[in-house]
Structure 1
Amino acid sequence: MEQKLLKLTDELIQNTETIKATFAEVKQANEKRDFYKEVKPFADQVKILLDEWEPLAIKWLKEHSVKNVHPQQIAHTTENLDMISIQCFFPETSLKRFRHYAESVEYVLKSLQKAIKDLNES
């Protein structure tokens, strides 16, 4: 279970990097991306990962106490990542709000990733 959770967490971190890069490109060009060619396929891919990751992460956190990550944060991270995976394609998205959600998502994902790796090393 841990290896699967770590793999999914790594993939979500990579997707978050892609989301941030896409948002920067969209903001700079000030152009929406095509919904059916880019937005929906990408958001669907992220959603599939999140649907698999969330229950595993919550189960793992209930079995292992992690100082700064709690099951409720996993649910919020799932919602936030799902949301920004769509919003990153639209230039009218608030930069401040987007950055807040992206940083929150990254914090939880990287904290979970570190906790899993630290546990495996000990």
Structure 2
Amino acid sequence: MTDLKQQTELLKEHLDQLKKRYEKSQPPEDKRDKAFFLFVKETTEPIYGMLATWEQTALQAVKNRTLNIHPHQITSTRENMELLLMHSFFVDVKRKRYMELNKSVHYIFDQVLRDL
């Protein structure tokens, strides 16, 4: 399961980078700006791929009883990180909500790493 450990650590790094982006960035002037959209898509696409792979690997680990986490928590973590991806670029959610999502994703990532 070192593969899952590496995936989780890498996603945690991305999560920290997203938080920094959220704290430093201003909302785009025009959310329909095609250049900005393409930049966001290009930047986030690899992370979406990593998240999908991580989810499958983590769900398999739960099934094999390597992880002591409910499958729903794995799926929710993927969904929350996807929300953070968008909120980090568009800065379209209140700071409190952003930090709650960030904290919940970190919690599950840390739980995965502890179980491994």
Superposition TM-score, scaled by structure 2 size: 0.86
Structure 1 portions without partners, runs of 5+: 117-122
CA shift, 1:20, in A, is: 0.5
Superposition TM-score, scaled by structure 1 size: 0.82
Q: Residues 40-91 of structure 1, C-alpha deviation per residue, up to 9 Å, x if partnerless?
A: 1222111100111101101101222645x32110000001101111111123
The amino acid across from 1:32 in the alignment is P
Query: Superposed, which structure 2 residues align to 1:1-122 within 5 Å?
Result: 2-26=1-25, 30-32=26-28, 34-37=36-39, 39-64=40-65, 66-67=67-68, 69-116=69-116
CA distance in structure 1 between the partners assigned to 2:113 and 2:43 by the alignment: 23
Contact 1:61/1:71 (<8 A) preserved: yes
Contact 2:27/2:92 (<8 A) preserved: no
Q: Give the count of matched residue pairs.
A: 110
CA distance in structure 1 between the partners assigned to 2:43 and 2:96 by the alignment: 22
CA shift, 1:35, in A, is: 2.3
How high is the sequence identity, in percent, across the aligned residues? 24
Contact 1:23/1:88 (<8 A) preserved: yes
Misfit runs of 4+, over 6 Å:
none
Cα RMSD between the aligned structures?
Answer: 1.6
